[in-house]
Structure 1
Amino acid sequence: MTTSVFIDGAVGTTGLEIAERLAGRAEFALITLDEARRKDDAARREAINDADVVILCLPDDAARDAVAMIANDRTRVIDASTAHRVAEGWTYGFPEIVGRETVAGARRVSNPGCYPTGFIALLAPLVHNALLPAAWPYSVHAVSGYSGGGKALIGRFEDDRDIAWRGYGLNFGHKHVPEMQRYAGLMIPPLFSPAVVAAHRGMVVEIPLPLGVMPGSVPPELLRAALTQFYEGSKVVTVAQDLPADGEMLMRASMEPWDGLTLHVMGSADGEQARLVAVLDNLGKGASGAAVQSLNLMAGLDETAGLRL
């Protein structure tokens, strides 16, 4: 059976990459609006209600408005914005964490944020299994390619080649923090330090762990073993078993589109310190790839169909 899909916001970075992943797939029929109609509310409302699944690639307020346009009990939603990530009645679109069956049966799915994807993938299984404490002031340091910042930020990086690094969220209260806290099962909001670097795509998310002073924590090798067991059989998430021989990790500006997620656990020789590191594509598993993974499940298909792995 063919599933009809309307991407509202199809000309943005996330929407374009979703469309690329769906191109040529007979399981889906894309509903499209031409340039003259894509901002016409009446045309959008008709497309939204005609679709089996609508994928929202819009700013938060526009995403809420789009959901309000649904006038039937059939159209299902995947929202790539921040608007519904901690909202009641919405399923968090992270199948590895909330369960594939949960996503497959959901009517309203909120796509995870790119930074939270790495953070939650690393921490949630360990906190849930009491291998790390829930009541701890975790910090997370992360860098992303500039493509996740919208057209204005993309333009600034591409027009001004002198920009190498842009730290932001320095006034705290970043919109990703609530979902990071909720889905990692934390009692204390994490201290989040994001930055954008001079690469189009790619992301590295790191959580430093002072294990020697953390109550109830376990050695790094047990953390790695627990993550390996948790993600066993996943075609999307991989847990690295070997440490970088030279103690280095690279994020390349030439990175190709990728929908996977690789997790690392690096521990000091005495076991007193560790670093949890997630490597992903902010436009892949951090955005468009995650939306397509959820769409596949909602359509009753293999979750990795059309993904770049």
Structure 2
Amino acid sequence: MTITETHKPAAAGAAKKPSVFVDGASGTTGLGIQERLRGQSEITVKAIAEDKRKDAGAKRALMEEVDLVILCLPDDAAKETVALIDSMGASGPKVLDASTAYRVAPDWAYGFAELAPDQADKIKAAKKVSNPGCYPTGAIALLRPVVDAGLVPADTPIAVNAVSGYSGGGKSMIASFEDSTAPAFELYGLGFEHKHVPEMQLYSKLTRRPIFIPSVGNYRQGMLVSVPLQLDALPGKPSGADLQAALAKRYAGSSYVSVMPLQNEAAKSGRIEPEALNETNKLELYVFASDKHHQAVMVARLDNLGKGASGAAVQNMRLMLGLPEK
């Protein structure tokens, strides 16, 4: 087995750096994680030789040496690797899974650190963490605080609209946009079975299944997730200010999630674009509201490859390894 390390071993007498193996580093998320790990001087990144990538014995030997494995694999392959890690018992590493295989599994911690006041601690203590989906990150960030605050009842009929750059759609979608055979814009997931809906519902604490309408535009990355609300149809008839206050209270002090004031540049223009947070792990939350019409739209803006994928993975990795926030 050939192992390569992207960081030099610690000098004699120095504290041993935690080690990480990214399994499936050739996809969009895996490549993004690898790029971000190059700036993580506190860890050692180990890799398996390409010709040993599907060798279970070689993979097991490597995983016995590392502290954390980040899985960037299709669901079935992720399940196989998790089963292999489980068979290792106490010698098995911690695992952070970027697939959809375990996002609603009760024995896995959900890797949205800002989900609740104690969520980061749960991630720190967990041996198994599921990295969130990009669309659910935005939807849950908007919905969970207002449901917890009682402003939006859990059984409210909710529609979640979203648009993403094509980089989140896999190799075939990326190729179709980059060779100009894809349309400029399209809705998809219209069979009502999008794989992100279960985690969106569970972690938003919704008892009624939301309608999710994703779309893709002809640009590489960046995402907007929006939730429209008829305020006078909600108990207590909350205002836009009430929604914004609930969001601001939940994310006060957060390093990565910002709740924008009601009066902001986007509100003044009546427009918001999806690419402003590209290459960051940031998430911005907006409330656009009309007191006249008793309507509001809550909007999340993020990089689908950042806070929606690779950025969140590195944030979770640092929590799981006991490293300070960066």
1:257 Cα deviation (Å)? 1.0
Q: Which shifted more, 66-75 or 85-94?
A: 66-75
Q: Which shifted more, 76-85 or 38-47?
A: 38-47
Query: Structure 1's 221 and 255: CA in aligned 2 closer, same or farther, altered over 3 A?
Result: closer
2:115 alignment partner AA: I
1:162 Cα deviation (Å)? 5.3
Q: Does the 8 A contact of 2:285 with 2:300 survive in 1?
A: yes
- Whole-Å separation in 2 of the counterparts to 1:63 and 1:216: 45
Residue 94 of structure 1 aligns with which residue?
Answer: 112
Which SS does the other structure have where 2:209 is aligned? coil
Residue 309 of structure 2: which of 284, 287, 296 is its match? Answer: 287
Q: Which runs of 4+ in 1 moved over 4 A?
A: none
Q: Does the 8 A contact of 1:219 with 1:271 survive in 2?
A: no
- Are residues 1:169 and 2:166 paired? no
Which SS does the other structure have where 1:81 is aligned? coil
Query: Could you list the runs of 5+ residues in structure 1 that have no partner in the other structure?
Result: none
Which SS does the other structure have where 2:129 is aligned? strand
Correspondences of 1:125-164 after superposition (within 5 Å): 125-160=145-180, 163-164=183-184
Deviation string 1:151-181 (CA, Å, 9 cap, x unpaired) is 1111111112552112111111111111011
- Are residues 1:298 and 2:307 paired? no
- Are residues 1:203 and 2:226 paired? no
1:283 alignment partner AA: L
TM-score by length of structure 2 reads 0.89
Query: Structure 1's 280 and 81: CA in aligned 2 closer, same or farther, altered over 3 A?
Result: same
- Whole-Å separation in 2 of the counterparts to 1:128 and 1:211: 17
1:222 Cα deviation (Å)? 1.2
Correspondences of 1:4-19 after superposition (within 5 Å): 4-19=19-34
Q: Does the 8 A contact of 1:94 with 1:112 survive in 2?
A: yes
- Percent identity of the aligned residues? 50
Q: Does the 8 A contact of 1:133 with 1:217 survive in 2?
A: no
1:44 Cα deviation (Å)? 2.1
Correspondences of 1:121-270 after superposition (within 5 Å): 121-160=141-180, 163-241=183-261, 242-243=263-264, 244=266, 245-252=268-275, 256-270=278-292
1:263 alignment partner AA: L
Q: How big is the alpha-carbon RMSD for the aligned residues of Structure 1 and Structure 2?
A: 1.5
Residue 56 of structure 1: which of 65, 71, 74 is its match? Answer: 71
Residue 4 of structure 2 aligns with which residue?
Answer: none
Query: Structure 1's 202 and 48: CA in aligned 2 closer, same or farther, altered over 3 A?
Result: same
Query: Structure 1's 170 and 47: CA in aligned 2 closer, same or farther, altered over 3 A?
Result: same
| Larger-Rg structure | 2
Which SS does the other structure have where 2:272 is aligned? coil
Query: Structure 1's 54 and 210: CA in aligned 2 closer, same or farther, altered over 3 A?
Result: same
Residue 39 of structure 1 aligns with which residue?
Answer: 54
1:218 Cα deviation (Å)? 1.2
2:291 alignment partner AA: A
1:217 Cα deviation (Å)? 4.3
1:38 Cα deviation (Å)? 2.0
Q: Which shifted more, 24-33 or 54-63?
A: 24-33
Residue 5 of structure 2 aligns with which residue?
Answer: none
Residue 79 of structure 1 aligns with which residue?
Answer: 97
Which SS does the other structure have where 1:270 is aligned? coil
- Whole-Å separation in 2 of the counterparts to 1:19 and 1:217: 47
- Whole-Å separation in 2 of the counterparts to 1:282 and 1:248: 20
- Whole-Å separation in 2 of the counterparts to 1:181 and 1:162: 30
1:177 alignment partner AA: V
- Whole-Å separation in 1 of the counterparts to 2:255 and 2:290: 29
1:147 alignment partner AA: S
1:41 Cα deviation (Å)? 2.7
1:33 Cα deviation (Å)? 1.6
2:218 alignment partner AA: A
Q: Does the 8 A contact of 2:278 with 2:306 survive in 1?
A: no
- Whole-Å separation in 1 of the counterparts to 2:27 and 2:69: 15
1:49 Cα deviation (Å)? 2.8
